[in-house]
Amino acid sequence: MRRVGVESESAFLQERVARFGLWIGAISLAGLVVRMAAHIALGHAFETFLSLAWGAHLASCVCVLGLWTALKGKPRSRRAIEWLEVGGLWGAALGYQIVGLYLLPEARADYVVVLAMNVMFVGRAAFVPSSPRRTAWMTALIGLPMIGLFYASLAARPPDPATPPEAEWTRTLNAGIWWTFITMLCVVITRTIYGLRAQVREAKRLGQYQLEARLASGGMGEIYRARHALLRRPTAVKLIRPDRVGERTVARFEREAQRTAALTHPNTVTVYDYGRTEDGVFYYAMELLDGADLQTVIEETGPMPAGRACRILAQVAGALDEAHRAGLIHRDVKPGNVILVERGGEPDVAKVVDFGLVKAIDEQDLTVTEADKIVGTPLYVSPEAVAAPEALDGRADLYALGALGCFLLTGKPPFGGKSAIEVYTKHLELAPEPPSSQAPEPFDPGLDQLLLACLAKDPADRPQTAREVAVRLEDLLDRLPEWDALDAARWWKQHGPALRTRRDAALQSAPGSLTLAPQP
């Protein structure tokens, strides 16, 4: 996990140096254009622009813009980034100094060059992440040739009665003093920003977890990729902020974390730790899932073969069975809350996530009226969750599991509609169509019968436990087309790149998913 942190820091440094090169190059190029426009307005001949001074100014622009060109593409090592930065800045500084050699003495070339380099290096200190020591030696060393060129250029000029003999010494000394002040200013700026970044990193530490990148954001909080300071294992940390959801909701999430942390089923997301920060933000750490949720899988590749769907449903039923026996109802079983990952070299391992709506079967808050509160997702909610949400038990999750099975086999949930009310009404009143009537491939009617039984309107007509559903699904596997680890590996090799592309686009536009497409 340390490697992830190093790569993240290098990527940040590369992005900042590239942008710095673009901005300083744009400023330098604008200065060149303004100078050319002024000379044209004064009537200078075109040959004027062919001198070494104009070429040096153009070379300076190329050096800093070259930083942007070299670093905007593929990732580079930190050492390569630092050497490219030194080379680009040294080349640009040398170009500015050569320009100064060709300025008239009355133009005070020393001050003009110092001012130009001051803009570049102060901008670098403020924009590019760096240690104070690195800023000090870079600024000082790159400025030394400038001081030498000042003295050499002044000493080489013909004697001028109007210019005191000691002019070259005094001007060179002044330039050296000013550059010393600039170096000190750059170090102070770097030290301040360097310290602020360290404070931000420390502020993003929750106990033993260092937050690295935000993966998702919602109304109740955020999810971050994080690393444990000692174990180095990949971790996702979810933050719940009291100012967004209220203290009562935070207390419910804390109870949920305590209960789900005790779940050990291999198909349930593992909760490692939980706690509160000093300012009251509740967090819990869980395993980081490198996979794709079922909603994304079906949207990207279409309905599943019955053998694969049955195997995944059996895993989800096993996870629900442990939760129900522990007295917990998930209440939001849906495709987006089941993630396919690879574990121990085995692909298509289902992980049930987001117990954010989990409810203890024996939990009752007498201070809150919940009779009119529908929980869950409309497309997968049970009839009793609509009619009597205060009286739910584990059979509500089995209804959602049946709806999930229909989605995997047909690409559509059992009921749709233009509004939540329309969907709720269908859950309450309409009989679902057999999935086999809409699936692209035929399959054993026993799977139809089991899913329709899970979708019974009356909970008493459904299978009574998740364990019963899991056993029946396992029995059906012998009568369905086989789907094994080799089939799953071939599938991910074919579809994994498209899923990763979709994942990356979603995170860049509006981070909202914790899932990552697995490597083939």
pLDDT for 506 equals 60
Active-site residue, 475 included: no
| 8 Å CB contact between 338 and 352 | yes
Condensed to tens digits (0 to 9), the pLDDT of residues 270-318 reads 888 777 766 667 778 888 887 788 888 898 888 989 889 999 999 999 9
pTM for the structure as a whole: 0.58
Tokens coding 447? 């799977």
Pairs from 425-434 (Cβ < 8 Å, separation ≥ 24): 427/381, 427/382, 427/383, 427/386, 428/383, 428/386, 428/387, 428/457, 432/406
Output the pLDDT for position 316: 93
CATH number belonging to the domain at 291-490, selected among 3.30.450.20, 3.80.10.10, 3.40.50.20, 1.10.510.10: 1.10.510.10
Alpha helices in 261-368 (DSSP H): 294-301, 306-325
CB 176 within 8 A of CB 140: no
Give yes or no for residue 371 having a pLDDT over 50.
no
Tell how far CA 209 is from the center of its chain: 17
To the nearest 10°, the Cα dihedral for 211, 214, 216, 220?
60
pLDDT tens digits for 43-100? 766 555 567 777 888 888 888 888 888 888 788 888 888 888 888 888 888 887 777 7
The fold of 206-287 is: Phosphorylase Kinase; domain 1 (3.30.200)
Interval 199-235: pLDDT, tens: 555 445 566 777 777 776 665 667 777 777 666 677 8
Q: Where would I find the H helices in 72-131?
A: 78-101, 109-127
Query: Which of the four pLDDT bands, split at 50, 70 and 90, describes residue 517?
Result: very low
Do 206-287 and 291-490 show the same overall fold? no
SS3 516: coil
Amino acid at 74: K
Domain boundaries, the chain: 2-203, 206-287, 291-490
Q: Which position among 110, 293, 321, 332 bears the catalytic label?
A: 332
| Cross-strand pairs, 350 | 340
Q: pLDDT grade, residue 453 (50/70/90)?
A: very high
Per-residue pLDDT at 1: 35
Res 465 pLDDT > 90: yes
Answer whether residue 378 shows pLDDT above 90: no
